[in-house]
Amino acid sequence: MKVKPEFAHWPYFAPDELAAVERVLRSGKVNNQPVILCNFEGELRAFLNVCSHRFSRIRRDGPGNGPLQCQYHGWTYNIEGLPTGITNFPYFEDFKPERRCELSLEPWKIETCGKLIFVHRGQPNQSLREHLGEAWEVMLSMAEALGENVSSTRMIIKANWKVVLENTLESYHVRFVHPETFARLEAKTQEFRYASSNSSWYAAIKPSIGDGLAKLGKVLKLSYAPAGYFHQFVFPALTLATTYGLSFSLQTIEPLDVGTTAFTTRVYMADIPEPSAVKQNQLRNLASMASDFNSQVFEEDKTICEEVQLGSAHANPMRSGELSSEEQRVLAFQQAYAAHMRPSGSA
């Protein structure tokens, strides 16, 4: 199963790096396709991370710091993706000026939502704002409230990406899969919202845990502070969640092949208007605790998703399972996915 390329969102968060001069910020993968993100004196550009000379990846995956230069023979590219620095150029005989244009890198589209940067391969058929629909405002509030990145973890799960995604969209499994972790928050409210193909879940959490966190949020004057746990899904494979706006976790779910998924989670502390060393430390500690908590929860999710994959392989394809009202967001995702994969022109 493939996700159509126009939905290949890749969130990247780099507020401190954007003021820097010309350099590569990061290379990575979106839907298993290599992409490179660059900052040319404040102007962001993204390209397929494949050199036009003899098709090496220009850079290895990871953070970057340097010119947009290929690691193999040193071709250097400019803001337009044109190879302006060709090593030992006189040895390229009969190199016509128009050849430089033909050898330009494949540009990817970039869009931003607050501090989050998204890339798309090719022209998407709608803007990021249109794609988010009514979820735009809340995504913007959250994306603007993101502070320092406290942790990033990439986990390989032996399950189809939709199994992993659907698991993040329901809390029905919490009691059985997370009895010692997530279940302790007692986040049970069924408050769902739908915006185009996206959905969210808000839940109040146990007062003995939540009340203190809500008070702290007020003291810190957080710009975005929901009264509990809030989880936003952005179709097809991104989630952003927060507890009282004190810390945030951003997840991307990336299909590697039909039965393997890369699950990446990044935890951020909240950005606050009047930072002091004491407040920053408080937030950093909370975000680190959230990060440890998430690691346990996601390990538990990984195990059950792999069990679902093993079971699904033997299920009768003519049978369709059953969904409860606690799993409404799973149904909404399945409908959105079916609509997305329908050949254009069909009803």
Instruction: Tell me which residues touch ligand FES (CB under 6 A).
Output: 51, 53-54, 56, 70, 72-75
Among residues 168, 145, 137, 114, the alpha carbon closest in space to that of 246 is found at 145
- Residues 75, 79, 83: CA angle, nearest 5 degrees: 25
Q: Between 166 and 301, whose beta carbon lies closer to Fe ion?
A: 301
Question: From residue 237, how far is each of 14, 101, 165, 251 by CA, in Å?
Answer: 20, 34, 7, 8
**Is the Cβ–Cβ distance between 10 and 28 less than 8 Å?**
yes
CB of 71 to ligand FES, least distance (A): 7
DSSP line for 89-154: GGGSTT--HHHHHHT---EEEEEEETTEEEEESS--SS-HHHHHGGGHHHHHHHHHSEEEEEEEEE
Rounded distance, CA 270 to CA 223, Å? 9
φ, ψ for residue 76, nearest 5 deg:
-115, 140
Pick the closer one to ligand FES by CB: 2 or 54: 54
What's the rounded Cα separation, in Å, for the pair 228 and 242?
8
* 56 touches, from Fe ion, ligand FES, none (C-beta below 5 to 8 Å by class): ligand FES
Q: Report the Cα–Cα distance between both ends of the chain, in Å, rounded.
A: 21
Q: 184 with 315: CB under 8 angstroms?
A: no
Residue 19 or residue 89: which is nearer to ligand FES going by CB? 89
How many Cβ atoms sit within 10 Å of the Cβ of residue 170? Answer: 18
H or E element: which one contains 301?
helix 277-312
Distance of closest approach, residue 35 Cβ to ligand FES, in angstroms: 16
From the list Fe ion, ligand FES, none, partner contacted by residue 166 (C-beta under 5 to 8 A by kind): none
Q: Site residues for Fe ion, window 270-309 (CB under 5 A)?
A: 301
| Shortest Å, Cβ 126 to ligand FES | 34
Asked if 166 touches Fe ion (CB under 5 A), the answer is: no
Q: Which residue lies nearer to ligand FES by CB, 75 or 118? A: 75
**Residue (64 or 236) nearer to ligand FES, CB:** 64
Nearer to ligand FES, 68 or 159 (CB): 68
Task: Select the binding partner of residue 70 from ligand FES, Fe ion, none (C-beta < 5 to 8 A, by kind).
Answer: ligand FES
- The distance of closest approach from Cβ of residue 53 to ligand FES in the complex, given in angstroms and rounded to an integer, is 3
Q: Which does 51 bind (CB under 5 to 8 A by kind): Fe ion, ligand FES, none?
A: ligand FES
- Shortest Å, Cβ 305 to Fe ion: 9
The closest of 7, 254, 2, 1 to 125, measured between CA atoms, is: 7
Min dist. Cβ of residue 331 to ligand FES (A): 47
What is the residue type of 201? W
Out of ligand FES, Fe ion, none, what residue 75 binds, judged by CB under 5 to 8 A for its kind, is ligand FES
Nearest approach, Cβ of 116 to ligand FES (angstroms)? 30
What, of ligand FES, Fe ion, none, does residue 301 touch, CB below 5 to 8 Å by kind?
Answer: Fe ion
In the complex with ligand FES, which residue's Cβ is closer, 78 or 295?
Answer: 78
| Binding-site partner at residue 288 among ligand FES, Fe ion, none, CB < 5 to 8 Å by type | none
Nearer to ligand FES by C-beta: 17 or 106? 106
Question: Cα 99 to the chain's mean position, in Å?
Answer: 36
Binding site for Fe ion (CB under 5 A): 301
